Amino acid sequence: MSTPLYDEAQKMALAIFDSFSKTAMRNACRSYLSAKRKRKQKEVVGSEAVQYVIDTHGETDIYPSEHIITDSHGHSCVITTEWLYQAMLQLTEQQKEVLILEFWYGMMICSIAEMLHITERTVYNRKQSAFRSIRKYYEEKR
């Protein structure tokens, strides 16, 4: 026969074990979900991007027409528009150089003038002359 004190102690032990088990399971579930969220946040690419890379591995890349314009001092730029490429080919070396340095290299007019040992007004005039030539080419071809 069991004593009431023993039954109460057993019930208390079961309640403590039940509470501990539930807490441990809840914490394990939270830890798992947190780790899953962190993994997903750290993923650089999704499965679709990985599949694209796998599917296209070894294939030749096809890009739109790209042309490189180089000035007399070796500064260069890539032009992806056919008509602009053709128009740039018709510019003088000085005009190309000013446009490339300002628009592709991001230099200021004063820096270009200092680099080329010319006045800022000369840089401005070359740029305006280049714009006129490009505009004229565009109007003739369009």
**Chain segment 59-82, per-residue pLDDT in tens:** 665 555 567 888 888 888 888 888
Q: How far apart are CA 142 and CA 81, in angstroms?
A: 13
Residue with tokens 């914490």: 27
Q: Which fold has domain 67-141?
A: Arc Repressor Mutant, subunit A (1.10.10)
pLDDT band, residue 122 (cuts 50/70/90): very high
Q: Is 117 helix (H, G, I), strand (E, B) or coil?
A: coil
Per-residue pLDDT at 9: 82
Which pTM does this prediction carry? Answer: 0.53
Q: Which of 80, 78, 79, 72 is nearest to 98 (CA)?
A: 72
Q: How far apart are CA 84 and CA 137, in angstroms?
A: 9
Task: Name which residue leads in pLDDT, 76 or 135.
Answer: 135
Q: Is 36 helix (H, G, I), strand (E, B) or coil?
A: helix
Is-contact 99 91, C-beta < 8 A? yes
Task: Name which residue leads in pLDDT, 48 or 115.
Answer: 115
Q: What is the pLDDT of residues 81-91, one digit of tens each?
A: 888 888 988 99
Measured at the CA of 55, the angle between CA 53 and CA 61, to 5 degrees, comes to 70
Q: How far apart are CA 112 and CA 106, in angstroms?
A: 10
Q: How far apart are CA 71 and CA 88, in angstroms?
A: 10
Per domain, the residue ranges of the chain are 4-56, 67-141
Per-residue pLDDT at 94: 93
Q: How far apart are CA 68 and CA 102, in angstroms?
A: 16
Per-residue pLDDT at 70: 81
Q: Which residues contact 27 (CB under 8 A, 6 or more apart)?
A: none
Per-residue pLDDT at 46: 58
